[in-house]
Amino acid sequence: MSQKLPNRDAVSYGEAIRSKSVRVTKHRLLIMTALSHERLPISIRDLTKKVRSCNESTLYRSLESLVDAQLVRRVHLDGAAARYELSIDRPHHHHIQCVRCGLIQDVDICVRSKEEAVLRSTPAFASVVDHSLEFFGICKPCASR
Ligand SMILES: [Zn+2]
Ligand SMILES: [Zn+2]
Ligand SMILES: [Zn+2]
């Protein structure tokens, strides 16, 4: 799963942003480029170290606009702050995190059509637009400790 992302340049991220009818700003471009270098979801605190021209609240607002445009995915692990990763250029996937050391890995497990059919029969909802699904476990090094 964790293959390297293609190295797009800023122009290409600009096109991706524009294609979602979102205004292309310097911060949005810097964030997309910084996220493209990350193999795993990253917290806002860690992202501020990589996008130094951007303070935490600007970073948060820019990230959320990219999440709304489905260019970036918000991932909730470890009950702490949300983490973010690019949602373009990589297949849809989920994550597993070690409850002891915090190690995160991608997993290729998803809800299949059977579960989505069940969701479609939920009376108050017309459609399912997205889902969030994370797994928690104990990694092998922690298990043998
Ligand atoms: Zn991921
Ligand atoms: Zn572990
Ligand atoms: Zn899924």
Report the CATH number that the domain containing residue 28 is assigned in CATH. 1.10.10.10
pLDDT band, very low/low/confident/very high, at 127 (cuts 50, 70, 90): confident
Q: What is the pLDDT of residues 53-94, one digit of tens each?
A: 888 899 999 999 999 999 999 998 876 778 999 998 888 899
Q: What is the pTM of this model?
A: 0.82
Choose between 10 and 56: higher pLDDT: 56
Residue 135 CA to ligand 2 centre (angstroms): 13
What's the whole-number mean pLDDT along residues 128-135?
83
90, 74, 123, 120: CA torsion to nearest 10 = 10
Q: Are 71 and 18 in contact (CB under 8 A)?
A: no
Whether residue 2 lies inside any domain: the answer is no
Whether residue 1 lies inside any domain: the answer is no
pLDDT of residue 6: 63
Residue 136 CA to ligand 1 centre (angstroms): 14
Residue 95 CA to ligand 1 centre (angstroms): 6
Residue 101 CA to ligand 2 centre (angstroms): 4
Structural domain span for residue 68: 10-143
